[in-house]
Chain A
C-alpha cells in the first residue's frame, strides 16, 4: 500500500516536472533562442552594425538615462514608504499600501494616458507648461514620469514584507542606546534590508528599461530623441529591418538574463544571510 502510493507519487512528480520544463522551454527558452538567432542571422558584422547606428545608440543612451533617473527615485521612495508603513502606525496605512500597488493593477497604456491628460497641450497643466516653455509630454521628462509611475511598487513591495518581518525591535534598541534617527537608519535598518533592497532595485531596473506601453503613449516616437530601446525595436521591426530589431531586442534580452543571474546570486546570499541570522 505504502509502496504503491510512493510510486504513484514519483510518477506524478515526474509528470509535473516534465510539464513545467516543457512549458518553460516553449514559453521562455524558445523565444529567447529565436531572438538571438534572428539577431545573428546575417552574421556578427550585421549585428554590430545594427547596434552602432546613431538612432540605436540614442535609444540605448536614453534607456540608460531613464533607468538612472527613475531607479534612484524609486529607491528613495520605496525605502521611505516601507519605513513609514512598517515602523509607524498611522491612519490610512492600508490605503497607502493599496495605492502603492496601483501601478501593478492599472494597464500601462492607461498610466501613460494619465500623464497626457495631466501635462498634454489640452491637459490640466498644459497651458501653464506651454507658457513657461516647459516640455514634459513627448520629451524626456514625460518618459521619466511614466517610468517612475510604472516601477514604483517594485522596491516598496520588496521591502514592506521584509521590514514587517524584522519588526522594529532593532531600531528601538538603537534609539534607546542613544543613536540618532540617521545613525539608526544607516547602521541598523539599511544593513538589515540591503539584500531585499538590491533585489527590488534589480526588478525595478529591469522594468524601467523594458517598459513599452506607458512610454509609447508619452514618447512621441521621435527618432534619435525620444525612442527608448523597446520603442526602437518596434520601429525597426516595422521598417522590415529584422536584423536590427532583433539585435536591439537581444540587448534587452541580455539585460534580462544578467538580471536573472544577479537575482539568483542575491537570493542565494539572502538565504545565507537570513539563515545565519536565525
Chain B
C-alpha cells in the first residue's frame, strides 16, 4: 500500500511538474510577447533576418518586446503538427494547400484566410530552377534534358514535401507545352523524368543535402532560393543554376492562425508581423534571402539577381491547389500512377 502510494506520487510529480512549469513560464512580463512561427524548411535564413528587424520595429512602435519561437520542417508535416496542437501564432508554409488543411481539419483559421493579406497572402514568391554541378558535365539546358537516359535527377517526395509538389507541377507544365498541350504527353514526360530519380527525400532541404553534400545526382530540381543558397553557402564554383524555359510561380503563403492567436492574446502583433513582411525593409531582406520580392520597386532593384523565366501559375493553369492536390498528389492520383508504374 505504502509502496504503491510512493510510486504513484513519484509518477505524478514527474509528469505534472514540468507540465505546470510549461504553463507558468509565460506571461511573466505584460510588456513582452512571444510569437510562435511554424514554417517550412528553406525559410530559416529568411526569418533569422526578419525576426530581429521586426522586434526592433515593434519595440519602437508599441514599446513592447517580442520574442520568437521558430519551428521548421517539411511543409506538410508542419501543417499536420499545427492541426495536432502545435500552437503556432502564424503559419508560414510552402503552399496554400497546407494552410487550407489547417482551416479545414483543425478549424483554427477561417477558410478564406488567403484574402486576409495582399497578393494571395504571399509576401514573397519563388520559382523552380535546375541546379547542376560546375561546368554542367551532362549539358543540361532545360527540362527536356532531364529525361535523357543516364541523367540522375534529385527531387523530394511530393507526398510529404511542398517544394516537391511545385517541382512536379513545373515539370508537368513543361511536358504539356512540349507535347502540344495534351495531358497524356505531360504524364508520359513526368513518368520518364521520375524514372531518372534514384531517391525521393522527404523534404526540400534533405534533397538539397543529398545533392550538395552527398554528391548524388546530376541535377537538382529545386526552389530558386534553395539553389542560390546552396551556391552561396558552399562557395561559388561548385554549382551552376540553370534557368529552364518554363517554370511555375511559387507563392508560399503566410497566415495568422487566428484561434491560437486569440488564445495567446497575440492577434494584433501576429497580424503586424505578417504585414511587416510587405514593407520595403522586409522586402529587401527577402531579396537578400533569394526570395523574389512582391514590392515592384524592390523587385526592380534586385532584377539582375533573378533570371527571367516565363511562369505558369497554380490558379490559372491547374485550377487552384485543391484541384491540383486531388488530381496529382492524393492517393490514387497521377503521381501514384507514374511512380508505382516505374517498378
Q: A interface vs B, CB < 8 Å?
A: 65, 69-70, 72-73, 76-77, 80, 116, 119-123, 126, 130, 133-141, 144-145, 181-182, 220-225, 235, 237-240, 242
Contact = CB atoms under 8 A, between A and B. Distances in A.
A238 B41 CA distance: 9
B106 A121 contact: yes
Nearest to B69: A222
Dominant secondary structure of chain B at its interface with chain A: helix
Contact of B15 (A65, A144, A223, A238): A144
Given A138-B85, A138-B86, A223 B234 contact: no
B36 to A, nearest CB: 7
Interface string B21-33: 1110000000000
28 contacts: A65-B18, A69-B17, A72-B14, A73-B10, A73-B11, A76-B11, A80-B7, A116-B84, A120-B84, A121-B85, A122-B106, A133-B23, A134-B19, A134-B23, A135-B19, A135-B23, A138-B81, A138-B87, A140-B18, A141-B19, A181-B3, A182-B2, A220-B71, A221-B71, A221-B72, A222-B36, A222-B71, A235-B72
Contact of A141 (B10, B22, B73, B206): B22
Interface in B73-92: 73, 81, 83-87
Given A126-B85, A140-B22, A145-B15, A222 B70 contact: yes
Contact of B3 (A80, A116, A138): A80
Contacts of A238: 41, 72, 205-206, 209
- Which bucket holds chain B's interface residue count? 35 or more
A136 B69 contact: no
Given A145-B15, A235-B72, A122 B84 contact: yes
A141 to B, nearest CB: 5
Contacts of B69: 222-225
Contacts of B84: 116, 120-123, 137-138
Nearest to A134: B19
B14 A144 contact: yes
Most buried by A among B84, B87, B234: B84
B262 to A, nearest CB: 13
Contacts of A181: 3
Nearest to B204: A238
B44 interface: yes
A122 to B, nearest CB: 7
B309 to A, nearest CB: 26
Contacts of B213: 242
Contacts of B7: 76-77, 80
Contact of A136 (B6, B19, B71): B19
A130 to B, nearest CB: 8
B233 interface: yes
A80 to B, nearest CB: 6
Contacts of A122: 83-85, 105-106
